[in-house]
Structure 1
Amino acid sequence: MKLVVVGDSLLDVDVEGTVSRLCPDAPAPVLDVTAEHPRPGGAALAAAMAARDGVDVTLVSALSADETGERLRSLVEVPAMFGHVDSVPVKTRLRCGGTSLARLDRGGSGRPRVTDDMLDAVLSADFVLASDYGRGLLRDDRLRRVLTRVPVVWDPHPRGPAPVPGARLVTPNLPEATAFGGTDDPDEAARVLRERWRARAVVVTLGSGGAVLHSGGTPVAVPAAPVPAADPCGAGDRFAVAAAVLLAGGAAYDEAISGAVASAGEFLRGGGISGLRAPVPSTVEEVRRRGGTVVATGGCFDVLHPGHVRMLAAARALGDCLVVCLNSDQSVRRLKGGGRPVNHQDERVEVLRALESVDDVVVFGEDTPSAVLGRLRPDVWVKGGDYTAELLPETEVVRRWGGRTVVVPYHRGHSTTEILSRRA
């Protein structure tokens, strides 16, 4: 099943710190910053959640061509098709002890431009999740026409447009349903909105109160198990993703909503949005703390052979730790075709970590390692081959933070393709 998440992407930043005093000129807390955690938000967050569920997912969204857009692009770990927007919205939360003190919003100007490639990506989907954050992408007339031709779950926003007619499911929360439907009664709001939007079903989510589903006939109340949650951020996205995946798999509406309510609860029980942060390996952080050199390399490493081993040893000798950026199974399949990989990613990770030269392995799902490089920010990027560093697209990526690219010798006669062809 191929899922496309289409909608507005944001850059979310959590600035963590401690508070032990007030400002001398106002009764405002002083946050002593200890960490900053950027992460994808909006549609990009929903796509990340689907990918972590093992779904074959593509993100269709719009990014700006500035530093903020590039920063968000580096955090997106799924295949993506981007149009252009003047500036990406940035939401910065100032947090202490698991509680938000304030939120700073900036950016988000301009109307997103939709390309033909974006429309083609949506049409190629088996199922679509429309993740609206009120920034304009889902107002595009061409995109809306395309969305009437594919099965879609629509996660609405008060500043966004109405869902396209015929949506399989629309998932407003109670404040959104009240704003759209003019009533704070969830049963009545679900009924009114289903008729107004000509949707097959509408579910009004109620946080700890579960959800109310209207798919024709009598509304169905779906309870939620009690979950202590100080930070509900992202729970709505978790709900919408789970509902879309379950419906795409053939679940009935009540089954899909029950599963989505449970999934949102598990998400909150597991730490919420903080549990989704893509961590930098502790080895990398430790090497950086002591002023060492972080080296990274990447590839499929499907059938490990002497050429791989020699290249990895040469790469490790260039610094104080070596991180291997490993193509996921889906990424290998797109790059190498049917029948590959021979060894699944968990097996490839296990073998690589067993090598003395490898300190850690990070799996990425895109066709290129640009996004994971933006997160790791290695001092040295190493490739084995018979080409020059200037011809590698990663060279320009690594230069952004002052890193360099090194090519180590290519060992002829040793390649996975040659090994498999001999076996055949």
Structure 2
Amino acid sequence: MDLALLKNLSHAKVLVVGDVMLDRYWHGDSGRISPEAPVPVVKVNQLEDKAGGAANVAKNIAHLDGKVSLLGIIGKDECGDTLQRLLANEKIASELVVQESHPTIAKMRVISRHQQVVRLDLEENFTQEQSQLLLNRLAQIIDDYDFVLFSDYNKGSLTLIEPMIALAKQAGKTVLVDPKSKDLSRYAGADFITPNLSEFKAAGGEVGSEEIILASARNIIQNCGLGAILLTRSEQGMSLITLQDKFDFAAQVLEVSDVTGAGDTVIATLTVMLAAGMAPKDAVEIANLAAGLVVAKLGAATVTPEELGRKLSQYLLQTGEHYQAPFEDVLQHIEFAKRNGETIVFTNGCFDILHAGHVRYLAQAKAMGDRLVVGLNNDESIARLKGADRPINPLDERAMVLSALKSVDWVIPFGDLAQNDTPAALIEQVNPDILVKGGDYTVEQIAGADFVLAQGGKVAVLEFLNGCSTSNVIKKIKTQD
């Protein structure tokens, strides 16, 4: 696998077409049973809206740095307006068609103590005439994209998917389909379809043994005019099947919190990795990894390049240097994490020779939130602060070592003369929830503390491990010499 291709994630130009939805979550505690019926009473204290259905597929692509647009149907209503705002916040270009005759599809979930109590579906299936509107719009914009991903939730938007796929293939596009129809011949011409085991069996697939699965899948591929089937198999992992090959991928061993949206993550990740130039086998391997990460999260979640890079023990470059991702991309990933409800912790330092005190300190900082951003003094800054003989290790090497720590999510260098060797300007850009500094500082002495506190954040001072310092390490080495 050529992981250097992960640098090309932003090259993906993808159009997602399908059934878009608004996912609404009502969170609250349930401490008693209703006197009106044997059901729990949930006292709602938090409301949350998320892009769902095909919109969640597009969101997954955006969070992986792909350039993505969404073509679907919404109603002229509050749910549709909310969905449009969510797409704009996620940097997803909207090609949504508004129809007054039908409501925006919405799914409302009541969540208590991390468990779904009930789901309410508000929807009316779209008609062939409305699907024709999507086909017409697809014909107008198809040339702007390299990949077309059809997300079929059987709500009517893709009633005319056969001519849609034909149009995309005539335009020379790579086509992927997350299917719902039992008749897989409707997706003829698709390069990849991603049924789960239940959908595969409903379409006539047989699963008695690995040999039977292979023969059955190849029969479907040949009879339905498909390029390949990526069969998602829950605890059995995934299988990529073509007329020539079969590759099996074991499920990732992670605690499952919620499988909602896992299929969306799989096809989104597969598409972005293919667009980055990966071979199908390698793209599926990473999609399988992404699925293992997303099921450990609650709700229709997403994964980021950092998470995938960490799991692969590398980042966007083969050296694993997080900070070499474009700065604006890093800030976008941090913003995505915030929108997912994650707490951002920031700390900074020189970290010239990494020692036990650093490792413990960074682990303690990470434990205060969900994601840790490390501001790293550049070489010029350290020379000004510590003397001409420092740093011992250059920026690239220091960043690589920090990036390998489980506690560290992002490393961002700073230290231009205009910043006066403090991370204050960087802290304002990151806008962390918690600012952490090690040593015997008072809060008033910590650069950026006033900004974080003014934003409603927290500032914490952690003790260093006695006797552990880069200066002591250097002194010990010189003594031994």
Which category describes the TM-score, using the shorter chain as reference length? Answer: 0.5 to 0.7
1:182 and 1:235 map into 2 onto residues whose CA distance is: 21
Code of the residue aligned with 1:254 in structure 2: it is K
Give the aligned residue type for 1:178. K
Please say if 1:59 is aligned against 2:86.
no
Deviation (angstroms), 1:270 = 5.1
CA RMSD of aligned residues (A): 3.3
Q: Which has the higher helix share?
A: 2
Q: Residue 37 of structure 2: which of 12, 26, 29 is its match?
A: 26
Q: Which residue of 2 aligns with 1:104?
A: 120
Give the aligned partner of residue 74 of structure 1: 85
Matched, 1:139 2:166: no
Residues 208 and 227, structure 1, Cα contact 8 Å, conserved in 2: no
Choose which of 94, 98, 106 in structure 2 pairs with 1:84: 98
Asked whether the 8 Å contact 1:3–1:57 carries over to 2, the reply is yes
C-alpha deviation, 1:139, in angstroms: 2.1
Q: Partners of 1:27 and 1:67 in 2: how far apart?
A: 32
Within a 5 Å distance, the mapping from 1:327-338 to structure 2 comes to none
* Deviation at residue 144 of structure 1 after TM alignment: 3.6
Q: Deviations over 1:207-244 (max 9, x none)?
A: 22211221113532211221111211111100001111
Per the TM alignment, residue 201 of structure 1 is displaced from its structure 2 partner at its CA by 0.5
SS in 2 for 1:76: helix
Assess, with a 3 A threshold, how the Cα gap between structure 1 residues 274 and 3 changes in structure 2: closer, same or farther: closer
CA gap of 1:110–1:52, structure 2 versus 1, over 3 A, is: same
Unaligned runs of 5+ in 1: 283-345, 362-424
Pair 1:128 & 2:151 matched: no
Q: Does 1:178 align with 2:187?
A: no
Corresponding residue number in structure 1 for 2:383: none
1:164 aligns with 187
- The CA distance in 2 between the partners of 1:232 and 1:281, in whole Å, is 18
Instruction: Tell me by how many angstroms 1:196 deviates.
Output: 3.0
Q: d(CA) in 1 for partners of 2:190 and 2:237?
A: 22
Q: Which residue of 2 aligns with 1:36?
A: 47
Q: Contact (CA 8 Å) 2:194, 2:229: kept in 1 or not?
A: yes
Deviation at 1:93, TM superposition (A): 1.3
CA distance in 2, matches of 1:169, 1:359: 39
Q: Following superposition of structure 1 onto structure 2, how do residues 271-350 of structure 1 map, counting pairs within 5 Å? A: 271=298, 273=300, 279=339
TM-score, normalised with respect to structure 2: 0.56
8 Å contact 1:4–1:121 — kept in the other structure? no
Structure 1 residue 281 displacement after superposition: 9.5
Please report how far the alpha carbon of residue 62 of structure 1 lies from its aligned counterpart in structure 2 after TM superposition. 1.5
- Equivalent position of 1:209 in the other structure: 236
In the alignment, the residues of structure 2 paired with residue 160 and residue 121 of structure 1 have an alpha-carbon distance, to the nearest angstrom, of: 28
Residues 24 and 108 in structure 2, CA contact (< 8 A), matched pair in contact too: yes
The alpha-carbon distance between structure 1 residues 359 and 46, as it changes in their structure 2 partners (threshold 3 A), is closer
Shift of 1:171: 0.3
- Note the C-alpha offset of 1:278: 6.4
Work out whether 1:268 is the aligned partner of 2:295: yes
In the alignment, structure 1 residue 224 sits paired with structure 2 residue 235: no
- The answer to whether the 8 Å contact 1:168/1:199 transfers is yes
Secondary structure in 2 matching 1:196: helix
User: In the alignment, residue 24 of structure 1 is paired with which amino acid?
Assistant: P
Q: Partner letter of residue 72 of structure 1?
A: L
CA distance in 2, matches of 1:162, 1:16: 41
Q: Does 1:194 align with 2:221?
A: yes
Q: Check whether the contact 1:156–1:163 (CA below 8 A) recurs between aligned residues.
A: no
- CA distance in 1 between counterparts of 2:107 and 2:28 reads 17
Q: Kindly name which structure, 1 or 2, has the bigger radius of gyration based on alpha carbons.
A: 2
| 8 Å Cα contact 2:166-2:189 kept in structure 1 | no
Residue equivalent to 1:400: none
Q: CA deviation at 1:123?
A: 3.3
> Is the CA contact (8 Å cut-off) linking 1:47 and 1:59 kept in structure 2?
yes
After superposition, the Cα gap between the structure-2 partners of 1:102 and 1:126, relative to the gap in structure 1 and judged at 3 Å, is same
Unaligned runs of 5+ in 2: 1-11, 303-335, 343-412, 433-481
2:288 partner SS: helix
Letter in 2 for 1:279: R
| Distance in structure 2 (CA, Å) of the matches to 1:192 and 1:262 | 28
Shift of residue 120, structure 1, vs aligned partner:
2.4
* Structure 2 CA distance for partners of 1:167 and 1:357, relative to 1, 3 Å: closer
Match of 1:328 in 2: none
Asked if residue 153 in structure 1 is aligned to residue 172 in structure 2, the reply is: no
C-alpha distance in structure 1 between counterparts of 2:55 and 2:229, whole Å: 23
